[in-house]
Amino acid sequence: MAERLAFTAKISLGLAMSGIIYAMFLVVPQYVGLGEAGRIIIVHVPTAWVTSAAFALSAVFSIVYLRTRSALHDASAVAAAEIGTLFCIFATVTGSIFAEVVWGTFWNWDPRETSILVLLLVYAAYFALRSSVDDIARKRRLAAVYNIFACVTMPFLLFVAPRVADSTLHPNCAFLQGSKCEGISLDLNGAKIGQLGDVVVELKSVETTGELTQARVEVRMPGLTQNAELTPSLDASGKPADRPEFPGQSFRMVLIEANPQAGTVRVNMQAPGTGLLSNQRTLWVFLASNLTFGFLALWLYRIRATILHVSALVETQEAH
Amino acid sequence: MQVLLDAGVAIYIAMAVALVVWLGVFWYLMRIDAEAKELKRLVLAMREHAQPPTPRVTIEQQTTNKQ
């Protein structure tokens, strides 16, 4: 009975993932500024979340191992860490493809890219540690302790660091309001120069003409031979009107607030993809994708854990 | 060949490629899952047979006839 249920669950997973692939290409709509690249969110974000869940599960098994000293718990911790690393690589690669389409480069050393690379290195060190110690009991003990510390860094590297950083192009606002989505403040009479991503912006003027409040902002970017000038504006109701594109990029400058009397503005770089999930079709496919990738990771974990358990059993038998 | 890269067709091609890759991965996972389970079953069975026999002691009571 249990076997039949497990088989049905696997077939359902296969069909669900096929459905997600179909929906990703043919149900999810295109997005202004992103085109077809916006579809990658259906794979990219779930893989990143599965990564964090797998690393957390791995740390739980490591804690249990330190209490029980059971080889099977150690094997489970390794299996979960491996699945986490695999999905972390998926998230990095899909993110990199997105970056190429939207930012024009596969790797930009954006805080988000850098932090996920550091996370990969932290877990690469976990596997290196395991393979560098010969004594089995010592190896398992050291690896379990290291794994707990590695997991502590994970939420910081995945969720905190990229949002604390002043200059990320990653569209955080697609999912969470706040963080660094509030942009930077410039003051004609004070700090009139600021940085958005690797773009230096300088406020030249802010004035109201007719119904529009317009800011004149000079932009200096790497690779740009001449400084460019952008004029984002707000309409009479205080909502962004003109959102000019940064030269040679597909992200835009948006004016969030402006006070012409005080000579202050708040500007931000709006990455394409902001507000992506406000579309219902995208939202439901996205949620289904999270669930499906979660079950896929669980299945992969079980397969890998079974193999490692067998290996641990054989190791124990040989030791006797 | 150029027709495959047209905007209207390319998305179907991309979807077909992704589906084929997923079905390949799925088939491989089903196989490896079944093999891993079989392996575990075999190792557990071998472990059971390889258990050292329980030590047995035979106690014989000898009585000596004192005449």
Q: A101-105, A160-164, A285-289: which has the highest mean pLDDT?
A: A285-289
Average pLDDT, chain B: 84
pLDDT attached to residue B66: 60
Q: What is the pLDDT of residues A146-177, one digit of tens each?
A: 999 999 999 888 888 776 665 566 665 544 33
Question: Which pLDDT score, from 0 to 100, does residue A9 have?
Answer: 94
What pLDDT score was predicted for residue A167? 55
A314 has a chain B CB within 8 A of its CB: yes
- Checking ipTM against 0.90, whether it exceeds it is no
How many other C-beta atoms are found inside a 10 Å radius of the C-beta of residue B65?
4
Higher pLDDT among residues A185 and A320, named by residue: A185
Q: Residues 264..303 of A with a Cβ closer than 8 Å to B: which?
A: 299-300, 302-303
What is residue A206's predicted lDDT score, i.e. its pLDDT?
93
Closest to B22 (Cβ–Cβ): which among A18, A307, A317?
A: A18
Residue B41 sits at the chain A interface (C-beta within 8 Å): no
pLDDT tens per residue, range A72-99: 999 999 999 999 999 999 999 999 988 8
What pTM does this model have? 0.74
Find chain A residues with C-beta within 8 A of B40's C-beta: 306, 309-310
User: Which region among A23-32, A113-122, A306-315 has the lowest average model confidence (pLDDT)?
Assistant: A23-32
Q: Which residues, 6+ apart, have CB-to-CB distance to A317 below 8 Å?
A: B47, B50
The pLDDT of residue A180: 47
Give the CA angle between residues A105, A108, A112 to the nearest 5°.
Answer: 125
Determine contact: A12 vs chain B, CB below 8 A: no
pLDDT score recorded for residue A152: 94
| Best mean pLDDT range from A49-63, A106-120, A213-227 | A49-63
pLDDT at B44: 86
Residues contacting A303, CB < 8 A, separation 6+: B29, B32, B33, B36
Residue stretches of chain B with pLDDT short of 50: none
| Beta carbons within 8 Å of A179's beta carbon, 6+ residues apart | A163, A172, A173
DSSP B3: G
Beta bridge partners of A201: A194, A219
pLDDT, tens digit (0-9, with 9 covering 90-100), for A7-22: 999 999 999 999 999 9
Q: pLDDT class for A178, splitting at 50, 70, 90?
A: very low
A315 shares contact with chain B (CB less than 8 Å) = no
Strand partners, A187: A264
Contact between A299 and B50 using a beta-carbon 8 Å cutoff = no
Share of chain A above pLDDT 70, in %: 87
A196-253 pLDDT, tens per residue? 766 788 899 999 988 899 999 998 876 677 788 999 999 888 888 888 888 876 677 8
Is A216 at the interface with chain B, CB within 8 A?
Answer: no
Domain boundaries, chain B: 2-49
